Amino acid sequence: MERQILRRMDASDEEIVLNFGPQHPSTHGVINFVTQTNGEVIRRSVPDVGYLHRGLEKIGEMVTYPGYMPFTDRIDYLAAMFANEGYAMAVERLLKIDIPPRAKYLRAIAGELCRISNHWVAVGTMAADIGAATPLTHALREREAINDLLEELCGARLTFNYARIGGVSFDAPQGWGDKILRYLDHLE
């Protein structure tokens, strides 16, 4: 069942094909469900997972393992650290590469900061969707504080490119851990 925007119907039609998502024409790359219904009964639903950037699989066939790493940032701009780390871990497992414990810890800390940042955006935009603009501004302020920490760690605020096959791109700067603890105290 392919995506159908419009379908000619007559009064005798009992089945309707609906597209659930994407929510807005500018939100390319998000999931869409092409759903076939009969009254209130769903007969079939086919997910179209979408891609933020089409052609990434083909690019991956043409570059080296390390050469593909920068593309992983673009898979999900709000959680780029996870795609970096997931790809690095997959290649490390494939090539049987062990990474130093410190790199594991740094990846975990950076990933958790990215997760908190991602959740701030989710909660803030959810509040905005129901008409509450102020929580969005507070959520974005908190996200910016986390982005400051991540920028200090890896030099970027959005596409981090921090994980590397075999470790991480940089060690944590002096005093970075203390700044995280201060932010977490503020967050509590």
Single pTM value for the model: 0.73
Q: What is the pLDDT of residues 37-70, one digit of tens each?
A: 988 888 898 887 766 556 788 888 999 999 999 9
> b/e string for 77-104 if b means 16 or more Cβ within 10 A?
eebbbbbbbebbbebbeeeeeebeeebe
Among the listed residues 57, 88, 64, 61, the one whose alpha carbon sits nearest the alpha carbon of residue 160: 88
- The Cα diameter of the chain in Å comes to 72
| Cα distance between residue 95 and residue 165, in whole Å | 10
Q: What is the pLDDT of residues 162-178, one digit of tens each?
A: 999 999 999 999 999 99
